[in-house]
Every structure is written in structure tokens, then in C-alpha cells.
Amino acid sequence: MDILMLGTGSAWAKNYYNNNALLFANEFTLMIDCGITAPAALHALGKPIDEIDALLVTHIHGDHVGGLEEIAFRMRFEFRKKPILFVPAKLLEPLWEHTLKGGLQQWEHETLEDFFQVKPLEEGKALELHPGLRVELIRTEHIPGKISYSLLVNDSFFYSSDMQFAPELVTRMVREKGCTVFHDCQLKPPGIVHAALDELLTLPEDVQERIYLMHYPDNKDEFVGRTGKMQFVEQHRRYRF
């Protein structure tokens, strides 16, 4: 499995694209989240939109779903394709009713299924999305009252999406499963809805060594060399695990 970050920026970063990713496995391309800047990031990479086989949504903030409208319209009218959209079952209604319906629906009868092959996902159950690519949704805390998920991929790679500091979970992923972890990080405290760097620095060194930091603000370079055993994920660099 390979992963390439379309962007590594926090929600309001301007020097970095939204924190979205492409996963590659056996000639299958899965986009993890599709934020406002995702179409521009694909263009900067020279990656045609119609080469994306499926998309997966972790939660419904704009930096994670704000680009879905453009993807949906272009796939439908430009490429005549209906890509797969994996959505946590509990997010199906709010994704359509609260986020996409106002822009996508042109006729009253249209639903999300007119634009995507919608595949609901249940949390806590590993599902083979494609041969060689198994994903399990893990419910994690982000914004109080808002449903959000992190991802366990192939039982060996943990992708936090956006989540508060959860040291027991991250430690278990590293020590019990041997995972590499891509973790969102707020560089200055307090973290509140994201793990803050000072919190992540309290993790044992053997855990830190398996953590790559993402979802950072524009002043990331000021923190190079100040992240303990952890290192930053670089956008548009392809990693193999």
C-alpha cells in the first residue's frame, strides 16, 4: 500500500492544501476525504480526477468534504462516471441533507446515489474495499457532538483524520498492531479538538518513532527539530508501507 498526501495543511492553512490523501493498492486509487482544495491539489499533481476509483469520508467539515461537489459534477457531466463513495452509515444523512444537497440537487427527486455509488460503512468492522485494501472505521473524538472517524488500514496503518489526543489508542495501535501512524497535530496548545504537539510529546519514544505529523499550520517550518522522535508528513510525497 502506498499513500500520498494531497495536502497536509490545517483547515485554515494557505501554504498547504487540505489534509486529504490518496491510497494506492493493486491499481486501485482511494481518496481519503475531499476538502475544498482537493481538486486544486489533484491539478497541481497532474492527477486526473477520473483516475480516482473511490472516495471515503471521515467527517463532514469543509476541509474534508468541501471538494465533493466539484468531483460529483465533473464525474457526472465531464467523465460520465459514477465513482464509489464510502460513507460511514451514521454520516449518510447529514452529508447529503446538511452539506451536499443544496449544491448538487438540480431536480427534487435527486439523491446522493445519483452522483455516487454509495457504500455505507459500519464502524468497528473491517471491510475489504478492494483486494489488498482493508479499512476499519474507528470512532474517535473530534468536535463534541459531531461524528468523526479515524481509519485502520490493512491492520498496519493508522490514519487519525482529525481527533483529540487519545494516548491509549495510539499506543495500542503502535505496540499491539505495529502500525505506522499518520496523526493530525496542532503545533501550539491548547489542542482542544486536535492533539497538540506538547501532548503528543508525552507519548513514549518507541510510539513517537512510528508517528508522522500532518494537518499542520503554515508555520510548520518553525517546529522542525522540535517534534521529538516524530517527523512531519510532506505533501505530494509518496510513502510506502
**Sign of torsion, CA 93 29 71 220?**
positive
Q: Residue 84's pLDDT is what?
A: 98
Domain boundaries, the chain: 2-236
pLDDT tens digit at each of 241 positions of the chain:
999 999 999 999 999 999 999 999 999 999 999 999 999 999 999 999 999 999 999 999 999 999 999 999 999 999 999 999 999 999 999 999 999 999 999 999 999 999 999 999 999 999 999 999 999 999 999 999 999 999 999 999 999 999 999 999 999 999 999 999 999 999 999 999 999 999 999 999 999 999 999 999 999 999 999 999 999 999 999 999 8
Which pTM was predicted? 0.97
Cell 455509488 belongs to 117
Q: Residue 100's pLDDT is what?
A: 98
For every residue of 133-168, DSSP letters joined together read EEEEEEE--SSTTS--EEEEETTTEEE-SS----HH
> At the topology level of CATH, where does 2-236 sit?
Metallo-beta-lactamase; Chain A (3.60.15)
DSSP 8-state secondary structure symbol assigned to residue 49: G
Question: What whole-number distance in Å separates Cα of residue 100 and Cα of residue 16?
Answer: 24
Q: Is 103 helix (H, G, I), strand (E, B) or coil?
A: helix
CB–CB of 34/65 below 8 Å?
A: yes
Q: Is 240 helix (H, G, I), strand (E, B) or coil?
A: strand
The values of phi and psi at residue 104, to 5°, are -85, -35
